[in-house]
A and B are shown apart, each in its own frame.
Chain A
Amino acid sequence: MALTFVSSINFNGNLFRPKNKHGNLTRSFLGVPVSPGLQVFRVKLNASQGKSHIVCLSWGVKGGVEKFADSLVETARSIASPGKGILAVDESTKTIGKRLASIGVENTEENRQAYRELLFTCEGLGQYISGAILFEETLYQNARNGKSFVDCLRSVGVIPGIKVDKGLSPLPGGENIETWCTGLDGLSERAAAYYKQGARFAKWRAVLQISPETPTELCVQENARGLARYARTVQEQGLVPIIEPEILMDGDHDIERTAQVQEHVLATVYKECDSNGVLLEGSLLKPNMTVPGADCKRQVSAEDIARYTIRTMERRVPSAVPGIMFLSGGMSEEEASVYLNVMNKIQRRGPWSLSFSYGRALQQSCLKSWKGKQENVRAAQEALLARARANSKANLGKYVPGSEPTLDKTGTFEKAYVY
């Protein structure tokens, strides 16, 4: 096995980089010169004849993921199947409360249960939706007839997934608006329990924001590290990690700046995944599309967005990742479908599926049709299926704009939206 070295320490700003006789910059790891760019994992320190030798040893990252490797790869591939995407229904109790309030429904456990039951018993949903992300409460709930939601989803052909992060916290040392994502404490045990309950994939949402001062490097690194560690941890318990580094739409920056920031974020995320031994074939990415800030003066077309997004993904997302499932951010249902469709009509090199993981952009019309009334359930399910179908077609580049109905007339973007 090739044995290689590098220092684990960040060399930026180091003025005294020794050069070897060929004039190449070398790194020195505990006094032994090594070529830059090589990954060391462990070092064997050997004191023989009074002298310490450093002999590099093999990786330490393997082990653990092997147990579930095959099923992780299969699940990820299945979620990223052509013509399919993810339904995100992992709104926290507080957030779903807002949605229910908007249609005049009280935020009780019963109503939350009724709403999710509407979604999970929707016949034919599995033709367009491969996976559904749940909130913890929902994973353990049943339909009114006693059938578990996990079983309901399986019956309609949808794989259940689970949000595992514990929300955002202000980032100490970062700028005021910056956050990091919490949830690593006890994650192993929780993931194992969720697997037992029937979940087969997980989600963790890190958030970054663009402004003249942000995102800071500290913020990018903290969030990337959290994502990578979460991903590796849940893989060891059999869950496919959806890696979500969301860059918010807030701001007046242009699309070039978004692209620049997003490239750096994704590079850092996948570098950290490498350090943590994340199995890429058994993972999925959930990024934002590369769009200008909501307050940007310069208008861009759907095709601009598509091209910038594809460029960013091709530059920074490894081919091994089977699916890139975009978040809808502040887009309306129709916008989200149209943008995705345009993206999939363009010839691209990237081999991953460009698909969707939509929450608001799949549920708005459904919610508005339901209004909390039992007699509206069928109509609400039709509304959901319509948007699911639209996005399924968009994934194949076959969606005709306006061909599926929507009650979502304006975008759902809210400045400084707090989940």
Chain B
Amino acid sequence: MDELKKIADYMVTPGKGILASDEPPELLESKFQQLGIANNEETRRTYRELLYGTQGLEQYISAAILHRETFEQKDSTGKRFVDLLSEKGILPGITVDQGFDILPGTAQETWTLGLDSLSTQCASYQKKGAKFTKWRPAFRIVDDISPSSIAIRTNAEMVGCYAAICQQYGLVPIIESDVLLEGSYSIETCAKVSKMVLDEIYSSLKRHHVNLQGVVAKPNMILAGMSAKSKPDPSTVAKYTLDTLLDSVPASVPGIAFLSGGQTEQEATTHLEAINKQARLTKQPWLLTFCYGRALQATCLQTWKGKPENVEKAREQFLYRCKVNASASHNKAV
């Protein structure tokens, strides 16, 4: 358990955040296509080499989440990405869920699968150098209708079970809960639904005897839906976010690393800044940082376009975004 705590604490080191680079091949398909990049194992490998090989990355990034394919890949010198990252002091982690399925008995709501093979996966990845895992349940607010209680309970149960299994194998489970940004709901609605979800998840974690000091939380920020008429300002976002988390995330969790979930790079940074600014005024027990995917990579990807001559510039962009988010997460009293 001490080992788990050490890993979790390291992941939320003050002034650093987590890089989510575990996009499955299908997800990269559309992004690559838009930029005229072919989508195959080699291009994906090259892209991840671009990211992980960035000089100085470890100043701002404490850990990186990898997809299973990437976990087995090597850089152009033949070194495993896992080793490349570890040597830099960036903990490698692995996404272990097997994606979504439609939950029977609901109208198009999803549940996340993957428990059947989880034990074997954990044992295997732990041996290969993984230090933590990720599992993603997603919830949708449609027409101001909350996710159903069965969808919330079912996904929360899966999370509890997933976390218990991972800890048994010495891996820190990231506890992710994503209330999707799609929709036109208000920020109050988001707060209410996120609280429902978080309550159920943490209840489930306790039932499964998960050691909360050995997990890292990855919730959504409390925001208005993407197509909402009015966008709340950053300080409102900060206030709602902290209020909701204070109500539902136990103090023993060492850190909260927000997901970006569809925000632009700029929004994600601004919101994180506002949250940490607000956090200095209120009392909250966990470190607040980022676990971003798109919000770190969007510009970088645009700049790269798959061309080797663009790698240096792309890396600059990437490092820059890591740096500003790392500063935004620096929760030090002024």
Contacts and interface: CB of A to CB of B under 8 A. Distances in A.
B188 A52 contact: yes
A294 to B, nearest CB: 30
Interface in B138-164: 141, 143-150, 152-154, 157, 160-161, 164
Contacts of A64: 104-105
A44 B146 contact: yes
B27 to A, nearest CB: 20
B5 interface: no
Interface in B206-220: 207-210
Interface residues of A, number: 44
A47 B186 contact: yes
B307 interface: no
B199 interface: yes
Interface in A4-41: 8-10, 30, 40-41
A46 B119 CA distance: 42
B185 A8 contact: no
Interface in B192-207: 192-193, 195-196, 199-200, 203, 207
A217 B206 CA distance: 12
B183 to A, nearest CB: 11
A222 B109 CA distance: 21
Contact of B107 (A63, A170, A173, A222): A63
Contact of A43 (B116, B146, B161, B164): B146
Contact of B113 (A9, A169, A180, A186): A186
A172 B106 contact: no
A184 B115 contact: yes
Given A8-B200, A9-B203, A47-B186, A275 B150 contact: yes
Contacts of A166: 116
Interface in A85-132: none
Given A40-B149, A222-B161, A233 B104 contact: yes
B104 A276 contact: yes
Interface in A314-367: none
B208 A61 contact: no
B148 A185 contact: no
A41 B148 contact: yes
Given A173-B208, A182-B116, A185-B113, A41 B107 contact: no
B105 A232 contact: yes
Given A185-B98, A188-B104, A222-B161, A42 B148 contact: yes
Contacts of A232: 104-105
Interface in A271-327: 275-277
Contacts of B147: 42
A207 interface: no
Nearest to B164: A172
A229 B149 contact: no
B189 interface: yes
B207 A173 contact: yes
A157 B195 CA distance: 54
Contacts of B115: 182, 184-185
Nearest to A43: B146
A222 B165 CA distance: 14
B117 interface: yes
B168 interface: yes
A418 B186 CA distance: 54
A225 B165 CA distance: 18
Nearest to A169: B119
A172 B208 contact: yes
A9 B145 contact: no
Interface centre among B104, B113, B116 (most CB of A within 10 A): B104
Given A40-B149, A182-B115, A45 B189 contact: yes
A44 B145 contact: yes
Contacts of B154: 225, 229
Given A42-B145, A185-B98, A52 B116 contact: no
Nearest to A278: B105
A277 to B, nearest CB: 4
Contacts of A73: none
A244 interface: no
A10 B145 contact: no
B146 A8 contact: no
Contacts of B161: 172, 180, 222
Nearest to A277: B105
A152 interface: no
Given A9-B199, A42-B146, A184-B116, 18 more contacts: A8-B153, A10-B203, A30-B195, A42-B148, A42-B149, A43-B145, A44-B143, A45-B145, A57-B145, A60-B105, A61-B106, A61-B150, A172-B209, A185-B113, A185-B117, A186-B113, A218-B208, A222-B161
The 5 closest A-B pairs by CB, nearest first: A8-B149, A172-B164, A173-B208, A173-B209, A182-B116
28 contacts: A9-B203, A42-B145, A42-B146, A42-B148, A42-B149, A43-B145, A47-B188, A47-B189, A60-B107, A60-B109, A61-B105, A61-B150, A63-B107, A169-B119, A172-B164, A172-B165, A172-B168, A173-B208, A173-B209, A182-B115, A183-B116, A186-B113, A188-B101, A188-B104, A232-B104, A275-B149, A275-B153, A276-B104
